[in-house]
Amino acid sequence: MSRKRALILAALLPLAAHAQNGAAASEPVYRWASPVKEDANLYQIDDKLYRSEQLTRADAPHIKHLGIKSVVNLRYFDRDDNHTELAGSGAELFNRPLLTWRITPKHIAQTLHLIEQRRQHGPVLIHCYHGADRTGLIAAMYRIVYQDWPIEEAKREMQQGPYGHHSIWRNLGKLFTEDKVRQVKEELAKLKAQQQ
């Protein structure tokens, strides 16, 4: 390489690095949920939404301390545990049972609509048994619909985040398409229209 070329290259490298850093700085940063109580798989998604596994009586004081006003239970089986486990937490309890192997865009929209309604009263907690798959799906769709996350980024948080996703539920991954998200949004719009 000639000396002239080497000097030109040496002069251009810092400019290229600066341009690349500037591009990276302008890209949006998608922050996964923040841990609150990891032994309960309890994480904060935003200032009004939390996610967890099935909580126990020992977790009720945490619910109260966080100011959670509504608990949305996504469990299909044994879903009445919340009444005994979370008694005294001050939270209102809602059952929105989802069968992991049969979740549709309509089910997702109904759950998101309930979350949207309950957020008006204060923070909401969503949970299933493990706090991983049904909860992860609803949290991911919440990210897409209300926080404008790209579909792939929300899916990545669900599958690769520290929440314990079970890869056996391949059907959940199939809900992360433009068409399925459009269906969720359409169903959500119908629910809002019925409310007016």
Question: What was the pLDDT predicted at 29?
Answer: 86
Q: How confident is the model at residue 8 (pLDDT cuts 50, 70, 90)?
A: low
**pTM: predicted TM-score of the whole model, two decimal places:** 0.83
Report helix angle 178-195 to 105-119, nearest 10.
Answer: 50
Question: What was the pLDDT predicted at 126?
Answer: 98
- Of 96, 72, 97, 76, give the one whose Cα is nearest residue 86: 72
Backbone CA torsion sign across 103, 132, 30, 64: positive
Give the pairing type, strands 92-95 and 70-73. Answer: parallel
pLDDT in tens, 129-149: 898 899 999 999 999 999 999
**Domains of the chain, with CATH numbers?**
35-194 (3.90.190.10)
Q: What is the arrangement of strands in the sheet containing 92-95, beginning at the earlier edge strand? A: 34-37, 42-46, 49-52, 124-127, 70-73, 92-95
pLDDT in tens, 116-126: 999 999 999 99
pLDDT in tens, 148-172: 999 999 999 999 999 888 887 788 8
